[in-house]
Structure 1
Amino acid sequence: MTIPMQDFLTKYLQFHSVSLAEENEIPETAEFLRTQFTKLGATTSRIMHTDRTNPAVYAVFPAQTADAPTILFYNHYDVQPVEPLALW
């Protein structure tokens, strides 16, 4: 199943995922990504919680052929505060 990129980005970018904010939507962002990975065909898609960091979203997408190489993609989905702008 494909997800229109504009729809995905419109929803994804609306999450308040500032790590340092007392109130953020990190858990909701993780669940959104897990759901999207499932829709895209992930055979495994889960959220892994830890005590000291934001949850990791883990997904497995099977290769089309048995001899295909394994690829690992790692990224973060939380962001830093915009202010103070002078420090950017």
Structure 2
Amino acid sequence: MAKNKRSIPDLRNRIREIADESGIDELHDLADEMFRNSPVRRARARSAHLTPELAEEIRVFARRNPKMHQRDIAQKFNVNPGRVSEAMNNIV
């Protein structure tokens, strides 16, 4: 596998260059088809939004349960572990 991968736009441009050099029009058509489709459907967010009030509840709970993992605290408050980390570091 290549050490440095090229982006799709870089590949599209290179395919167009090869098409021009070799006179193969089909390569231009293929390059034009190299785009990522927009997602048709996205998963609904499952965790609660981290409000300042919820962040404070998490900090209080974490202080009262110092041996509890952030993963478990997140599950209790229906947020992901990153939100618990943000709450604990006063990022909210």
- TM category (shorter chain) comes to under 0.3
Higher relative contact order (CA 8 A, sep 6+): 1
TM-score normalised to structure 1 length: 0.27
TM-score normalised to structure 2 length: 0.26
Choose between structure 1 and 2: higher strand proportion.
Answer: 1
